[in-house]
Chains A and B, each alone.
Chain A
Amino acid sequence: MLLTIRSLTKTFPGTLALDAVDFDLAAGEAHALLGENGAGKSTLIKCLTGAYARDSGNLHLDGAPISPASTLEAQELGIGTVYQEVNLLPNLTVAENLTFGRQPVRFGMIGQRAMRRQAEELLSGYGLDVDVRRDLGSYSVAVQQIVAIARAVALSGKVLILDEPTASLDARETEMLFDVMRKLRDRGLGVVFISHFLDQVYEIADRVTVLRNGKRIVTEETAGLDRLRLIEHMLGRELEAQTAEGAQQPAEPADPSARELHFEGIGRRGKIEPFDLSVGRGEVVGLAGLLGSGRTETAEVLFGVHPAQVGTARAPEGALDLSSPRAAIAAGFGFAPEDRKTDGIVADLSVRENIALALQARRGWSRPLPRAEQNRLADEYIRRLDIRTSDAEKAVGDLSGGNQQKVVLARWLAMNPRFLILDEPTRGIDVGAHAEILRLIEEVTRRDGMSVLVISSELEELVAVADRVIVVRDRSHVAEFTGADIAPDRIMRAIAAPDVAAPDEEAA
């Protein structure tokens, strides 16, 4: 093996990001690393390249133990990385980018001609027809990617890590990149590549390793791996346990005519194709789909973060304005976003202030929520959601991920919304908090009659909590399951491909 990783473990406050992960990379192999957000892919890469210090575990390169303390050291050892956003300098020429840090020097000056020659040599064999004297920024992202790869290979030369290299490439450019990857593989490099596009994984990867919740789930040859099985690995399943739980689902929710929120033809170009959705009082609707399928986009369009361009929203009292988060909140909506650090918490404010924030925003600036009332709210939700904090005045940024999530939930529960959208509410939080949040969803829907839309990449979670599950694929709603039909294998099939989806489901 070119590179072996044994029982690599990394913890962050409150989360076990990598749990004794093993990983092997052979020379001359393209190895895909798959998993949903928060599965631990980038943490693994960062531990490997020295960007993070690992807690425990061994790395071996060419049989010798290594322990890079920085990306620079990893590069010198032979491990080069190219990130999704090209980390080169677009305002320098291609040649300067390629030779940066070791330009040929002549009489104390950079030898332009030698540099050009060196750059052209480096690029030969990549099948690129570029003028190395032009600025890198004047070329397409694909070309920039390949230049970055050429640089990484020249500097490192053993292991090449590509973090979502195709995310912003079109089909032809992707093909160009894959040609380069195949050539490098044939030259004996080990290529690790992270992608969310399964088609590409099947096209280029020799082997696949799937991570989920910080654990390595499986490593298999791509050739023998069934697509459905792969998705199962990514999304998780304990089918036997799930069917038992699915059976104890409550009966069908009230008939659709009693549903109180109706969205018709809501959509936004480039985000999500127009879809219809009706949500009943006290109903939990699950939204399943892979990352980038349009699940988060659905939530953002409903909440006015990216307002819908077409379609209408109706409630019993009339049409709803969902043109901005403020408008959506006025209509009784709440939204706990997927990325709680950038979209959820206000890190430097206290737990109390974060909980009171939405309530205060709705009251308006001139009617401050009395301090006593804020304290009461904070104490109530710290107790009810079991938020682990020394006190209500602690800055929310100092809490662990799960507790931050609970603070965001508390913010919305304090508003008592009629429709609460939860995007990956249990992402990256420990098992205990996970169960509590699911219990909480049950509680607010059964007791308070709140309607909830839950987006999750964990199917067992959706099966456990949802009365109805909608499947999103390629930016449109493609299938809907109710009652006894809600089962991980059926959902998974609908996620995987249209032809294997249950034909009797309505397509939105």
Chain B
Amino acid sequence: MPQVFRRILPQVLTLLAVILLVSLVFPGFVQIDFERGRLVGPIIDVLKRGAPVALLAVGMTLVIATRGIDLSVGATMAISGACAAWAISSGYGLIPALAAAIAAGILSGLWNGTLVAVFGIQPIVATLILMTAGRGLAQLITEGRILTFSHDGLAFFGSGTILGLPVPALIWCVAAVLFALLVRRTALGLLIEAIGINRRASTIAGINSRVLLVAVYVASGFCAAWAGIIATADIRGADANNSGLWLELDAILAVVIGGNSLMGGRFSIAASVLGALIIQTIDTGILLAGFPSEFNLVIKATLVIVILVLQSPNLAPHLARALRISRGAPLVGSSAAREAGE
């Protein structure tokens, strides 16, 4: 799979550069210990904390590949989390609770997909509806308070471990691999890319673009439901106001850092997930580095701008030329610069 590797190489290099940068201000960043049957350390924390955005990024990648966008995933997380917490605290047991959460995510996706594919509403507007209304729905389910529960089975999805690894990390890994296999081992990936590039021509070629469009929004809702389950399980309560708040923007950012075009077409789920990890590494790194918390957002924004500028296709030729002139100059930024020139 050398082709796949070449596609995600910039993201891998960026991630390594960010880890390196964080390690400079917090030397213990890459250290991993084994304590009380579980792996601990900042990297493990990144894998766990990054779970919601990584999951959202998987679904968002597919939606963006069709030239759409799904702003409602944060609200969908809140709805799904509320459904799970409500079901478990009403005594329905674990399986019905998970089923309710996932059904809520799929229904959200169907709603979005129908608005986009059947009624032809622009994706940004169509999903904005659920983005704002969704939190209201979640509040109705939780009856306006933080709906807490004490069910170890459900909490396991947020804080449990398997073979020492946090369950949320395992969930997004499995989801990313399954979705990647699903779209690449079948023709789905090609058909999704085709409708993203030219929906009209694809329809004339016989592709059922309407059904496919609905399907990607359902996939996005499904991923958001799992992210909502993790977020709710983690704090043992459903917070309709804050669960998944603004995460849709992080998910879109992850997809963009993953080098996927917002204009649709070619996509890589692996690159998007790497993008999510880059964002989480920055978030965790800033906290660990001990900067005053009021600096956090500014530092994050600065790093994101640097990454995006380095990936900019307009910059690549200039960088390549600059590199040829000053090759060998060991700067912190130069490793990142080289990858942008690839």
- The answer to whether the Cβ of A411 comes within 8 Å of any Cβ in the partner chain is yes
CB distance from B111 to the nearest CB of A (A): 22
Of the candidates B200, B206, B265, B266, the one whose C-beta lies within 8 Å of that of A358 is B206
Which of B187, B193, B203, B265 lies at the interface centre, i.e. has the most chain A CB atoms within 10 A of its CB?
Answer: B187
Interchain CB contact under 8 A, A342 and B205? no
- The answer to whether the Cβ of A360 comes within 8 Å of any Cβ in the partner chain is yes
Main DSSP-derived SS at the B contact region:
helix
Which residues in window 236-250 of B have CB below 8 A to A? none
Interchain CB contact under 8 A, A346 and B204? no
Give the distance in Å from the alpha carbon of A346 to the alpha carbon of B194 in the complex. 6
- What 0/1 readout, one digit per residue, does chain A (310-352) give for beta carbons within 8 Å of chain B? 0000000000000001100100000101000011111111000
Of the candidates B186, B188, B207, B208, the one whose C-beta lies within 8 Å of that of A357 is B207
- The answer to whether the Cβ of A176 comes within 8 Å of any Cβ in the partner chain is no
Which of B194, B197, B205 lies at the interface centre, i.e. has the most chain A CB atoms within 10 A of its CB?
Answer: B205
Interchain CB contact under 8 A, B186 and A325? no
Interchain CB contact under 8 A, A369 and B187? yes
Interchain CB contact under 8 A, B201 and A368? no
- The answer to whether the Cβ of A303 comes within 8 Å of any Cβ in the partner chain is yes
What are the residues of chain A within 8 A of B212 when measuring CB–CB? Answer: 365
Interchain CB contact under 8 A, A347 and B197? yes
Interchain CB contact under 8 A, A368 and B186? yes
- The answer to whether the Cβ of B296 comes within 8 Å of any Cβ in the partner chain is no
- The answer to whether the Cβ of B25 comes within 8 Å of any Cβ in the partner chain is no
What are the residues of chain B within 8 A of A363 when measuring CB–CB? Answer: 187
Task: Take A348-B197, A348-B266, A349-B197 as given contacts and tell me if A343 and B204 are in contact as well, using a CB distance cutoff of 8 Å.
Answer: yes
Interchain CB contact under 8 A, A345 and B198? yes
- The answer to whether the Cβ of A353 comes within 8 Å of any Cβ in the partner chain is yes
Give the distance in Å from the alpha carbon of A358 to the alpha carbon of B203 in the complex. 9
- The answer to whether the Cβ of B190 comes within 8 Å of any Cβ in the partner chain is yes
- The answer to whether the Cβ of B159 comes within 8 Å of any Cβ in the partner chain is no
CB distance from A18 to the nearest CB of B (A): 28
Interchain CB contact under 8 A, B200 and A361? no
Interchain CB contact under 8 A, A368 and B185? yes
- The answer to whether the Cβ of A20 comes within 8 Å of any Cβ in the partner chain is no
Of the candidates B185, B190, B193, B203, the one whose C-beta lies within 8 Å of that of A325 is B203
Which residues in window 188-218 of B have CB below 8 A to A? 188, 190-191, 193-194, 197-198, 200-208, 212
What are the residues of chain A within 8 A of B193 when measuring CB–CB? Answer: 346, 348-349
Of the candidates A329, A343, A347, A369, the one whose C-beta lies within 8 Å of that of B200 is A343
CB distance from A502 to the nearest CB of B (A): 35
CB distance from A374 to the nearest CB of B (A): 10
- The answer to whether the Cβ of A383 comes within 8 Å of any Cβ in the partner chain is no
CB distance from B50 to the nearest CB of A (A): 30
Which residues in window 4-27 of B have CB below 8 A to A? none
- What 0/1 readout, one digit per residue, does chain B (263-291) give for beta carbons within 8 Å of chain A? 00110000000000000000000000000
Interchain CB contact under 8 A, A360 and B190? yes
Interchain CB contact under 8 A, B187 and A346? no
Q: How many residues of A contact B (CB 8 A)?
A: 29
Which residues in window 150-194 of B have CB below 8 A to A? 185-188, 190-191, 193-194
Give the distance in Å from the alpha carbon of A346 to the alpha carbon of B66 in the complex. 13
Interchain CB contact under 8 A, A346 and B197? yes
Task: Take A325-B204, A346-B202, A348-B265 as given contacts and tell me if A360 and B187 are in contact as well, using a CB distance cutoff of 8 Å.
Answer: yes
Q: How many residues of B contact A (CB 8 A)?
A: 22
Give the distance in Å from the alpha carbon of A325 to the alpha carbon of B187 in the complex. 19
How many pairs of residues, A versus B, come closer than 8 Å at their CB atoms?
Answer: 76
What are the residues of chain B within 8 A of A303 when measuring CB–CB? Answer: 204
Interchain CB contact under 8 A, B204 and A360? no
What are the residues of chain B within 8 A of A305 when measuring CB–CB? Answer: 204
What are the residues of chain B within 8 A of A367 when measuring CB–CB? Answer: 186-187
Chain B residue at minimal CB-CB distance from A364:
B187
Interchain CB contact under 8 A, A342 and B201? yes
Give the distance in Å from the alpha carbon of A358 to the alpha carbon of B204 in the complex. 9
What are the residues of chain A within 8 A of B206 when measuring CB–CB? Answer: 325-326, 329, 358, 361-362
Which residues in window 168-196 of A have CB below 8 A to B? none
Chain A residue at minimal CB-CB distance from B195:
A346
What are the residues of chain A within 8 A of B204 when measuring CB–CB? Answer: 303, 305, 325, 335, 337, 343-344
Chain B residue at minimal CB-CB distance from A333:
B206
What are the residues of chain A within 8 A of B187 when measuring CB–CB? Answer: 360, 363-369
What are the residues of chain B within 8 A of A357 when measuring CB–CB? Answer: 190, 194, 202, 205, 207
Give the distance in Å from the alpha carbon of A311 to the alpha carbon of B188 in the complex. 35
Task: Take A326-B208, A358-B206 as given contacts and tell me if A353 and B201 are in contact as well, using a CB distance cutoff of 8 Å.
Answer: no
Give the distance in Å from the alpha carbon of A329 to the alpha carbon of B204 in the complex. 9
Give the distance in Å from the alpha carbon of A417 to the alpha carbon of B185 in the complex. 27
Give the distance in Å from the alpha carbon of A305 to the alpha carbon of B187 in the complex. 24
Of the candidates B186, B202, B205, B265, the one whose C-beta lies within 8 Å of that of A365 is B186
Interchain CB contact under 8 A, A361 and B197? no
Chain A residue at minimal CB-CB distance from B185:
A368
Of the candidates A347, A361, A366, the one whose C-beta lies within 8 Å of that of B205 is A361
CB distance from A188 to the nearest CB of B (A): 45
Which residues in window 228-272 of A have CB below 8 A to B? none
Which of A329, A346, A366 lies at the interface centre, i.e. has the most chain B CB atoms within 10 A of its CB?
Answer: A346
Chain B residue at minimal CB-CB distance from A393:
B3
Interchain CB contact under 8 A, A366 and B191? no
Chain B residue at minimal CB-CB distance from A325:
B204
Chain A residue at minimal CB-CB distance from B202:
A346
What are the residues of chain A within 8 A of B200 when measuring CB–CB? Answer: 342-343
Interchain CB contact under 8 A, A365 and B188? yes
What are the residues of chain A within 8 A of B194 when measuring CB–CB? Answer: 346, 349, 353, 357
Give the distance in Å from the alpha carbon of A405 to the alpha carbon of B52 in the complex. 45
Interchain CB contact under 8 A, A344 and B201? yes
CB distance from A465 to the nearest CB of B (A): 23
Give the distance in Å from the alpha carbon of A337 to the alpha carbon of B202 in the complex. 12
CB distance from B284 to the nearest CB of A (A): 36
Give the distance in Å from the alpha carbon of A360 to the alpha carbon of B186 in the complex. 10
Chain B residue at minimal CB-CB distance from A345:
B201
Interchain CB contact under 8 A, B208 and A346? no
Which residues in window 361-390 of A have CB below 8 A to B? 361-369
What are the residues of chain B within 8 A of A365 when measuring CB–CB? Answer: 186-188, 191, 212
Which residues in window 212-264 of B have CB below 8 A to A? 212
* Sample (30) of A-B pairs whose CB atoms are under 8 Å apart: A303-B204, A325-B203, A326-B206, A326-B207, A335-B204, A337-B204, A342-B198, A342-B200, A342-B201, A343-B200, A344-B201, A346-B198, A346-B201, A346-B205, A347-B198, A348-B266, A349-B190, A349-B193, A349-B194, A353-B190, A357-B190, A357-B207, A358-B205, A358-B206, A360-B187, A360-B191, A361-B208, A363-B187, A364-B187, A365-B212
> Footprint of B on A, CB under 8 Å?
303, 305, 325-326, 329, 335, 337, 342-349, 353, 357-358, 360-369, 411
Instruction: Give the 10 A-B residue pairs with the shortest CB-CB distance, closest first.
Output: A361-B206, A329-B206, A368-B187, A361-B207, A358-B205, A346-B198, A348-B197, A365-B188, A357-B205, A365-B187
Known: A346-B198, A361-B207. 16 other contacts (CB 8 A): A342-B201, A343-B200, A343-B204, A345-B198, A348-B266, A349-B193, A357-B205, A360-B190, A360-B191, A361-B191, A361-B202, A361-B208, A363-B187, A366-B186, A366-B187, A367-B186
